[in-house]
Amino acid sequence: MAEQESFAFESSAAARRSGSRKKSAGRGAKVRRTRADAKKPKPSPKKRRSSGGGDGDGGSRRRSTAADLALQQRDISVSEFFAKNRHLLGFDNPAKALLTTVKEGVDNALDACEEAGIVPDVRVEIVQLSETRFRVAIEDNGPGIIRAQVPKIFGRLLYGSKFHRLRQSRGQQGIGISAAGMYGLITTGKPVVITTRTGKKQAAHHFELVIDTKTNQPKVKRDDEVEWDKDHGTRVEIELEGGYRGGQHSIDAYIGQISLANPHVELVFEPPHKPGTTVEPIIYPRVSRELPPETAEIKPHPYGVELGVLMQMLRDTHSRNLRGCLHSDFSRVSSKVAEGIAKKAGISPTRRPGEMSREEAEKLHAAIQATKLMAPPTDCIAPIGEALLLKALHAEVEADFYASVTRRPAVYRGNPFLIETGLAYGGKLSGDDSVTVFRFANRVPLQYQQGACAITKAVTATDWRSYQLQQPRGAMPVGPMLLMVHIASVWVPFTSESKEAIAHYPEIIKEIRLGLQECGRKVATFIRKRKREADEAKKRAYITQYIPQVAVGLQEILGLSETQTGKVVTDLKDVLERSRKM
């Protein structure tokens, strides 16, 4: 038995060795065939072109060196950037581009007239050259522009007089009108046409110019002296690809809202018409000839200055010592307060500002925040005013009730601002839809991005049910009402360069809500009074309807004469009227 088991084991081992040799022979054959195939010539692979470096798989891929990458770097001009990103400026669709062009031209016209103390007369003309091409003209009676400044104002982005000063104005960045001209050039290739005159004894100048987007410099195509029937003023013409439509975001709605927030302006609007034809202009007469109060320019308030800005101001100051710098370069800082800030920071008041280190500047910044300072002056902002706001609402909206509120000035990030709210209720306003909200910033209507605006957030966050209005949760109130909210500030915190929505600063939202609540209390009083009057009229109708029938019944039961029945009717009416009024 042992011999049989040994034989079986050896046979099995031999079989395994034989199978292993066969597999090995098979692998060897495969290896030999692979080697044989390798000796055969292969077609050369196609070379791949490479535009950049990196650790690619192909050995033929060319890698860019640091020197190659350095050669590709170049400056980007601001006009070149915005030409590629024109949606940031409000030129992201044809209809919006046409509206933005009108808006920027009207803003410049109103600012120029008000700064010169001239009651504005503004004319807006739109000529429709084809289905998608328009020529926009904005003409004003302002002070005009001197010849040397015309190319810079209309042919350079980020060039203006308003960016570096803290004073209320419609424009802020020095981009608007030149960006509109650049958009016209990109879409039609046509130059901006400007006619301007600075006085009756001065010649009128006619310009045609374009903007070089690579250098952000103007190129003047034409500069002539011409005859013009206006004593002073400016006319700007821009040809562009656009779209004209009605509705909430239309040019017609914008012009109407401009008239509402600027009751001292007379606006004449010529809707789109074919070249060579005339159209009946729409005239928005001025409500008042009183110009807005002249605003003063203020210096930065210390509370609104960040550390990096403070360090730059210390380097750029003309003052010889820290005390003088704090007193002369900031608002609401007297010499005594300046010494107290320096002492709190552990820095000598006679220290030269330009020689201060970053650590010293950080201590100074902390000391400023820990010092109690007066709020910024408010003579730099000019509200519309409650009386003029009511006049404008009466002129623009047919309603049953009007209210307006002008809040006291407040501060965000060291910048003074003021909130005004207006309200119209009833009349011909629709009661089935959400209330209409007109948003304004420095008297300029905000047409787009309503959902992203702090004004909208404040309106939806207000509990309008407390003021006798319906309101779905987290939404606009529903009812026959129009709301108007205006923010006036030396620097309105827009969410983008297109100036379409206000950033959500808690201080701003709080002030808007307080203004809305004050208007809400007034309209709630009106609504309750009207409901009481309606109830009284209903009860009076019941008295008039049923008392005679009661008297007839008494006459039949008691056998009263006509005289007695008449006396019963009179007595019952008196008793019921007295009980109703109690």
Q: In this structure, are 345 and 426 located in the same domain?
A: no
Beta carbons of 98 and 244 less than 8 angstroms apart: yes
Q: In this structure, are 361 and 394 located in the same domain?
A: no
Choose the final residue of a domain: 369, 398, 420: 369
Q: In this structure, are 398 and 319 located in the same domain?
A: no
In a domain, 182, yes or no: yes
Predicted confidence at residue 162, as pLDDT, reads 62
CATH of the domain at 315: 1.10.8.50
Residue 24: partners with Cβ closer than 8 Å, 6 or more residues away: none
Predicted confidence at residue 4, as pLDDT, reads 44
570 token code pair: 């009179």
Domains held by the chain: number: 4
Q: In this structure, are 142 and 220 located in the same domain?
A: yes
Going from the C-alpha of 452 to that of each of 142, 410, 504, the distances in angstroms are 35, 22, 9
Predicted confidence at residue 13, as pLDDT, reads 45
Beta carbons of 48 and 61 less than 8 angstroms apart: yes
User: What is the C-alpha separation between 151 and 165, in angstroms, rounded?
Assistant: 22
First-residue to last-residue Cα distance in the chain: 129
Beta carbons of 220 and 209 less than 8 angstroms apart: yes
Range of the domain at 320: 302-369
Buried b (16+ CB within 10 A) or exposed e, 302-335: bbbbeeeebbebbeebebebbbbbbbebbbbbee
In a domain, 7, yes or no: no
CATH of the domain at 401: 3.30.230.10
Q: In this structure, are 174 and 224 located in the same domain?
A: yes
Q: In this structure, are 200 and 218 located in the same domain?
A: yes
User: What is the C-alpha separation between 404 and 261, in angstroms, rounded?
Assistant: 13
Predicted confidence at residue 437, as pLDDT, reads 92
Q: In this structure, are 511 and 544 located in the same domain?
A: no
Task: Look up residue 269 and give its DSSP letter.
Answer: E
In a domain, 93, yes or no: yes
CATH of the domain at 237: 3.30.565.10
**pLDDT tens, the chain, 582 aa long:** 444 444 444 444 444 444 544 444 444 444 444 444 544 555 554 444 444 444 445 557 778 888 888 888 877 777 778 778 777 777 888 888 999 999 989 988 998 999 899 999 999 999 999 999 999 999 999 999 999 999 998 988 877 666 666 677 776 666 778 888 899 999 999 999 999 999 999 999 999 999 988 888 999 999 999 999 999 999 999 999 999 987 777 899 889 889 888 989 999 999 999 998 989 999 999 888 888 888 888 888 888 888 998 999 999 999 999 999 999 999 889 999 999 999 999 999 999 999 999 999 999 999 999 999 888 887 888 888 898 889 888 888 889 999 999 998 888 887 889 999 999 998 888 888 899 999 999 988 998 888 899 999 999 999 999 998 888 988 899 999 999 999 999 888 988 877 889 999 999 999 999 999 999 999 999 999 888 877 777 777 776 777 777 777 877 787 778 888 788 778 777 776 666 555
In a domain, 251, yes or no: no
Q: What is the pTM of this model?
A: 0.73
Predicted confidence at residue 82, as pLDDT, reads 76
User: What is the C-alpha separation between 265 and 494, in angstroms, rounded?
Assistant: 25
Q: In this structure, are 242 and 309 located in the same domain?
A: no
Beta carbons of 122 and 107 less than 8 angstroms apart: no
In a domain, 69, yes or no: no
Half-sphere exposure of 58 (CA within 13 A, CB side): 12
State the alpha helices, DSSP H only, in 56-199: 66-72, 78-84, 94-115, 150-155, 176-188
Q: In this structure, are 514 and 556 located in the same domain?
A: no
Q: Nearest-CA neighbor of 494 among 60, 88, 110, 29?
A: 88
Predicted confidence at residue 63, as pLDDT, reads 84
In a domain, 374, yes or no: no
Q: In this structure, are 489 and 466 located in the same domain?
A: yes
Beta carbons of 286 and 267 less than 8 angstroms apart: no
Count other C-beta atoms under 10 Å from residue 296's C-beta. Answer: 15
Q: Strand, helix or coil at 34?
A: helix
Beta carbons of 499 and 171 less than 8 angstroms apart: no
SS (H, E, C) 279-296: CCCEEECCCCCCCCCCCC
Predicted confidence at residue 54, as pLDDT, reads 47
User: What is the C-alpha separation between 113 and 118, in angstroms, rounded?
Assistant: 5
Predicted confidence at residue 296, as pLDDT, reads 82
